[in-house]
Amino acid sequence: MESSNDRVLSDLARRVLNRDLFEYSSKARKDELDRKCSLRRIESKYYLVVDHQSQAPYLPYTGNNTAQCIWMLTSEGIKELSEVSDVVASLSYIDEQDERIFYPREIEE
């Protein structure tokens, strides 16, 4: 693929093989990075990648996610873990969100 006639494919293959990996930044800079790509004649649709991540440490039972919940046998019967643990209950409401944009480092030079 590194010797492909497709310029983008060839460049991306070279980057992977040579560990010339993309840098990343907050998504807020997308417009600025898009402009820098245009100035260097780099196709942003292939070279600017936005990634959105969401992470919840524990998801309590809602009726749909039975495979992900943990059940505890208590003296009062079977209960979902967030019902018997204050620590787990507090983790249930954390929802970490992160958006990053990946780009070739040479557009910053």
Distance CA 34, CA 8 (A): 17
pLDDT of residue 104: 92
| Residue 16, in any domain of the structure | yes
Query: What is the residue type of 24?
Result: Y
pLDDT of residue 16: 92
Model confidence at 68: pLDDT above 90? no
φ, ψ of residue 65 to 5 degrees: the values are -110, 50
| Residue 53, in any domain of the structure | yes
Distance CA 24, CA 30 (A): 11
Q: Which two tokens stand for residue 30?
A: 């997308």
Q: Which two tokens stand for residue 89?
A: 């209950």
Instruction: Give me the number of domains the chain comprises.
Output: 1
Residue linked to tokens 């919840």 = 56
Q: Can you give the pTM of this predicted structure?
A: 0.59
- List pLDDT tens digits, range 6-62: 889 999 999 999 999 999 987 778 888 989 999 999 998 999 998 888 777 776 666
pLDDT of residue 14: 92
Residue ranges making up the domain that contains 83: 7-108
Instruction: List the CATH number of the domain containing 27.
Output: 3.30.70
| Residue 2, in any domain of the structure | no
